């Protein structure tokens, strides 16, 4: 970037919804995404939910000409789903793993398996720090059990950006944050890092109303999810900020509008977000740009800390009940062992010993013991992580309040 007076950077971000066997018309859509990317020639492409490494390899082969550099973030049980294609060399990559990402036993939500280790990765191309990522999904807005987890993730992401961004000139974040623009997690992330929202800053906007990326016009979206939001919701973002002696302006932001340009099917169940940024070197260093120090930030951190505290209470309750369940199962097993020993010692021989039901009960108790112990360990970790995040937030709040 050195020496150039202005760099025009075109970025493409999309949650591809490319789950093998589950996503509708996956192969066709991946082919369509590849064709469009090759035709449009962006500078940087951030994709999420490319769950199959085969799809990534196909895209890589197709895009080798115009995006010579690419990286797929390998991890987790299924894979991370995250990949980056770039016209500029990718100098280095670095992975960050959130400490909390849902519950392993919520199989139908799946974030733990495909998200915990992988969905949380950040691709770093210095001096441009670019992050492609996905936060924990929201499954029920009214009774959102994952809110504390998502807040911990937003906090860890903000901390990660604060601590790694000094090595970059510009920070770019594109991804499916699974949060509405006014949600506390987004406010926390933006407030604590100083990242700016390309949609809000864009000089020129073209696309779905309010920049929505989950819209009823898209034939793949889950219509019931959008019932309370007839215009759609905005959960995919491109955020950016300049470090040191640079300025970044968002010239244009576009979203697709329910279908891919020139076709009758969409790229995915999410709309693609495309930004054109102008990056310019300034005369003098702009000084620190880490977050804003206004009282509003303290309010946001306080609000987030309260939510994390609510999650901590719930996690403590779950830890307690799983622990109690484990103890009860253990007691039952001990009781059974006593009864079996009694029978072996010849007590109560006048009655026939019910072997089958005894056996079934013992296995049931053993199963409950194993499960409840596993849950207890899991919720213990959850309590520690939530408590640790609460501590960190408190430390930051103290520092914010001490500042003049």
| Complex with a copy of itself: residue 219 or 377, whichever CB lies closer | 377
Of 71, 136, 149, 270, the catalytic one is 270
DSSP one-letter string for 146-160: THHHHHHHHHHHHHH
Q: Do the beta carbons of residue 35 and residue 304 sit within 8 Å? A: no
Contact 128, 92 (CB under 8 A): no
User: Does residue 270 have an active-site annotation?
Assistant: yes
Interaction of residue 246 with a copy of itself, rule CB under 8 A: no
Strands ordered across the beta sheet of 246-255: 69-72, 83-86, 44-50, 6-18, 273-281, 246-255, 204-206
200 binds a copy of itself (CB under 8 A): no
For the record, the structure tokens of 305 come out as: 């800390």
DSSP state for residue 115 in the 8-state scheme: I
The single residue among 10, 93, 293, 310 that binds a copy of itself, judged by CB under 8 A, is 93
Nearer to a copy of itself, 106 or 265 (CB): 106
Q: Is beta strand 246-255 parallel, antiparallel or unpaired with respect to 204-206?
A: parallel
Q: Least separation, in Å, of the C-beta of 24 and a copy of itself? A: 26
Site for a copy of itself in 97-156 (CB under 8 A): 97, 99, 113, 117-118, 124, 156
Contact 55, 18 (CB under 8 A): yes
How far does Cα 212 stand from its chain's mean position?
18
Q: Is 74 helix (H, G, I), strand (E, B) or coil?
A: coil
Of 74 and 278, nearer to a copy of itself (C-beta) is 74
Residues near a copy of itself (CB under 8 A), total: 45
Residue of 343, 395, 314, 355 lying closest to 147 (CA atoms): 314
132, two tokens: 């492609």
For residue 32, the SS3 value is helix
| Nearest approach, Cβ of residue 394 and a copy of itself (Å) | 11
Residue 390 CB, nearest approach to a copy of itself (Å) = 9
Binding to a copy of itself in span 338-367, by CB under 8 A = 355-356, 359-360, 363
In the complex with a copy of itself, which residue's Cβ is closer, 334 or 381? 381
| Stretch near a copy of itself under the rule CB under 8 A, chosen from 138-146, 171-179, 206-214, 392-400 | 392-400
DSSP 8-state secondary structure symbol assigned to residue 116: I
Residue among 93 and 210 whose Cβ is closer to a copy of itself: 93
Residue 245 lies near a copy of itself (rule: CB under 8 A)? no
Q: How far is the CB of 384 from a copy of itself (least distance, A)?
A: 5
Question: Residue 260 Cβ, how far from a copy of itself at the closest point, in Å?
Answer: 31
Nearer to a copy of itself, 173 or 260 (CB): 173
Grouping H, G, I as helix, E, B as strand and the rest as coil, residue 56 is: helix
* Residue 160 near a copy of itself by CB under 8 A: yes
Nearer to a copy of itself, 306 or 380 (CB): 380
**Residue 399 Cβ vs a copy of itself, minimum distance, rounded to whole Å:** 7
Classified as helix, coil or strand, 220 is coil
Give the separation between CA 329 and CA 2, rounded to whole angstroms: 66
Q: Are strands 44-50 and 6-18 parallel, antiparallel or unpaired?
A: parallel
CB 214, CB 233: distance < 8 Å: yes
Please answer whether residues 244 and 226 qualify as being in contact, where contact means their C-beta atoms are separated by less than 8 angstroms.
no
Binding site residues, a copy of itself, CB under 8 A? 71, 73-77, 79, 90-97, 99, 113, 117-118, 124, 156, 159-160, 162-164, 166-167, 355-356, 359-360, 363, 377, 380-381, 384-385, 387-388, 391-392, 395-396, 399
Which positions are annotated as active-site residues? 270
């Amino acid at each position: 970037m050195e020496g150039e007076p202005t760099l025009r950077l075109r970025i493409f971000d999309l949650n591809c919804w490319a789950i093998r066997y589950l996503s509708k018309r996956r192969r066709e859509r991946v082919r369509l995404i590849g064709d469009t990317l090759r035709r449009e020639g962006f500078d940087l492409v951030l994709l999420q939910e490319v769950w199959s490494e085969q799809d990534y390899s196909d895209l890589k082969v197709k895009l080798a000409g115009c995006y010579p550099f690419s990286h797929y973030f390998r991890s987790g049980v299924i894979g991370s789903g995250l990949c980056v294609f770039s016209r500029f060399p990718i100098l280095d990559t670095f992975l960050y793993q959130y400490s909390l990402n849902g519950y392993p036993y919520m199989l139908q939500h799946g974030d733990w398996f495909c998200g915990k280790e992988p969905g949380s990765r950040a691709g770093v191309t210095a001096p441009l720090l670019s992050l492609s990522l996905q936060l924990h999904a929201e499954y029920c807005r009214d009774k959102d059990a994952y809110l504390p987890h998502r807040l911990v993730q937003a906090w860890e992401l903000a901390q990660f950006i604060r601590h790694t961004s000094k090595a970059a000139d510009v920070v770019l974040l594109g991804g499916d944050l699974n949060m509405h623009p006014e949600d506390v997690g987004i406010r926390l992330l933006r407030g604590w890092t100083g990242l700016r929202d390309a949609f809000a800053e864009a000089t020129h906007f073209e696309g779905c109303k309010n920049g929505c990326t989950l819209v009823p016009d898209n034939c793949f979206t889950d219509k019931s999810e959008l019932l309370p939001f007839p215009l759609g919701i905005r959960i995919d973002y491109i955020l950016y900020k300049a470090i040191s002696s640079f300025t970044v302006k968002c010239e244009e932001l576009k979203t697709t509008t329910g279908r891919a340009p020139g076709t009758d099917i969409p790229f995915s169940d999410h709309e693609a977000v495309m930004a054109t940024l102008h990056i310019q070197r300034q005369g003098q260093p702009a000084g620190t740009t880490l977050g804003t120090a206004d009282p509003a930030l303290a309010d946001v951190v306080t609000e987030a800390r309260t939510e994390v505290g609510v999650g901590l209470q719930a996690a403590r309750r779950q830890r307690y009940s799983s622990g109690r369940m484990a103890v009860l199962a253990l007691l039952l097993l001990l009781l059974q062992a006593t009864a079996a020993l009694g029978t072996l010692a010849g007590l109560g021989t006048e009655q026939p010993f019910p072997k089958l039901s005894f056996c079934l009960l013992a296995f049931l108790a053993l199963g409950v013991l194993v499960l409840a112990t596993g849950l207890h360990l899991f919720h213990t970790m959850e309590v520690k992580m939530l408590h640790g995040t609460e501590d960190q937030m408190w430390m930051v709040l103290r520092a914010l309040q001490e500042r003049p």
